[in-house]
Structure 1
Amino acid sequence: MGRIMISVKNMGFGLMVAALALPLVATPAMAQGRDPAYAAARAAGQVGEMPTGFLGIVGSPTPDLKRMVDDINIRRKAVYAERAPGQHATLEQYAFTIGCQLIAQTLPGEKYQSPEGQWLIRGNGAATRDARCPA
């Protein structure tokens, strides 16, 4: 299993994370990727990755979409809470680092949230990420 070393500068809410070793295959998005409803919502631009490491709803949600996104985010938060202490990071720091990775992994045509909070559509180039994200 490959690992990537990541550094995150002070994010304004705590200690600096010097280096996080995160398994590339164990991202919180892994389980959602197999869910047809999630895949359909992502392809339709109804949901997108946020810098916070959580999934966001683009536009007005239906009750089913809100329920799905809430469920995914609850599962992501549980994973972050479990893994953050082992990386000597707060939940927020760990989630931010994962958010950087998830935004970088978006595919052309998928939506993601810019550091300024605007929903963008990924083009063929690199996604616009927070300056604190590792390269």
Structure 2
Amino acid sequence: MTKSLISRRHFNRLALYALAAGMLTAALPQLALAQDALATAKAAGQLGERPDGMVGVVPGAPDTAQVLAQQVNAQRLARYQEIAKGNGTALDKVQAVAGQQLIERTPAGQYVMTAAGQWQRK
């Protein structure tokens, strides 16, 4: 029981770091345009959130969606790496926490990827 409580505390701390990273990313001016483009592409059903904290291209999306996904994912990965390094945590754990939060915050009607790798509308 103690081990699971410690794990949960560690998970909550990681969740806070991931959330802070997301807020910092949105605050940077050069990323604001990418965030707007991301929101537009997600609302159009071209991009969706994945469990690994990255965005993915929904089948049938135009080529521009792939370019945007690559840009956003490069920015996200850089932040996730900073968070992991700063906390002495594995990168995949930071990505998993971020992915869970991003999927939870995804509005109804937008795409999210299931753990099985399938796209579905939320």
Q: TM-score, normalised by structure 1?
A: 0.68
Name the SS for the 2:115 alignment partner.
coil
Paired-residue identity, %: 31
Using the alignment, how far apart are the partners of 2:112 and 2:33 within structure 1?
A: 16
Per-residue CA shift, 1:19-66, capped at 9, x if unaligned?
434243531773468743222211111110000110000003433211
Higher strand share: 1
Alignment partner, residue 40 of structure 2: 40
Report which structure shows greater RCO (CA 8 Å, sep ≥6): 2
Q: Rate the CA distance shift 1:52–1:107 in 2: closer, same or farther, 3 A.
A: same
Using the alignment, how far apart are the partners of 2:97 and 2:33 within structure 1?
A: 19
- Contact residue 108 and residue 121 of structure 2 kept, 8 A: yes
Q: Name whichever of 36-45 and 18-27 sits farther off.
A: 18-27
- Structure 2 unaligned spans of 5+: 1-6
Using the alignment, how far apart are the partners of 2:32 and 2:48 within structure 1?
A: 12
- Report the alpha carbon displacement of residue 116 of structure 1 after superposing the two structures with TM: 1.1
Alignment partner, residue 96 of structure 1: 96
Using the alignment, how far apart are the partners of 2:98 and 2:33 within structure 1?
A: 16
For 1:114, the aligned partner's letter is T
Name the SS for the 1:26 alignment partner.
helix
Using the alignment, how far apart are the partners of 2:48 and 2:33 within structure 1?
A: 13
Q: TM-score, normalised by structure 2?
A: 0.75
Alignment partner, residue 18 of structure 1: 10
Using the alignment, how far apart are the partners of 1:96 and 1:33 within structure 2?
A: 25
